[in-house]
Structure 1
Amino acid sequence: MEATLLLVVGYSHSKGVAISFLVLAVGFSGFAISGFNVNHLDIAPRYASILMGISNGVGTLSGMVCPIIVGAMTKHKTREEWQYVFLIASLVHYGGVIFYGVFASGEKQPWAEPEEMSEEKCGFVGHDQLAGSDESEMEDDAEPPGAPPAPPPSYGATHSTFQPPRPPPPVRDY
């Protein structure tokens, strides 16, 4: 819809019609952008922020390059030059719509799913497998007889250190 409205802007003979259709084109682009932005969450919820950053980066680059190209195309500011600008903008938009319609998907992509981790892939290392440890070092770390067994080694925050708050002291009436 936006591409068609841009064509009307380029080939209109009245300023009022051109402005009206340009406003409509920008208004309809809001519908397209809202659908496009949500699509990141649909196809890869875990990576939606990364995908949004990439797509916004590409969009920003085109927004920086387009004014330079338009300035080069409209040196004399004639009606025909501006018609070519709006024709190219419309064709680029039609091309994007067709590409998106053919290749886009709203289904969660297989590459967005986390890998299933088996115990072999988890990377946990036993005491006897630690680099540089041999049996003599292990004997030095042994607990004295009768001592409670030491907890297994922890890799990261595997348990909570939360302690409930203490009750307030009793109130004394004097």
Structure 2
Amino acid sequence: MAKVNPGRVTHAYDGQELVVFLIGMRINKPWRVRQWWPTFAAMPPMLKELSVDPDSGLLGYRMTFGAGGPTVIQYWNSTDKLYAYASDPDAKHRPAWARFNRLARKAPAVAGVWHETFVVSRAESIYVAMPPSGLAKATSTVPVTARSDRATDRLAGEARRADTAAKPPA
């Protein structure tokens, strides 16, 4: 079990770009396991492939399960790297996507897939009595201080850091 930080922390990230990529699958006909299982089983090897490559651009991820199926929340340091992985013929994504499309043509509407990509200019977070989780696990943590006690303060601090990083030294 992950170690719980008993205090209050927020994420720390000084990268140039932060991309949140949501990808999910909806299992519409759960009794047709042979048609949806390959799609379901394709994600863990992709995440492993990305996680062991420090240059992949993947900062971290979290998998959740809802009523319709799984969702993976991914944090990336670049849209270019995200799209490069998606189109890389030597990576695990391309064959998995081709397999999904073949199965979808043979058994329409058994399972669906979706994704959403967000380029984040500012992000605010707080974690209280939590192990590293979400964006903080994908990046790093810093204690919440008097200057970052409120959500508005943390967002303003993020904006100040972004403005400082964007301005060349005088």
Higher relative CO (Cα under 8 Å, sequence separation at least 6) belongs to 2
The structure with the greater share of residues assigned to helix is 1
Q: TM-score normalised to the size of structure 2?
A: 0.26
Tell me which structure has the larger Cα radius of gyration: 1
- Which has the larger strand fraction? 2
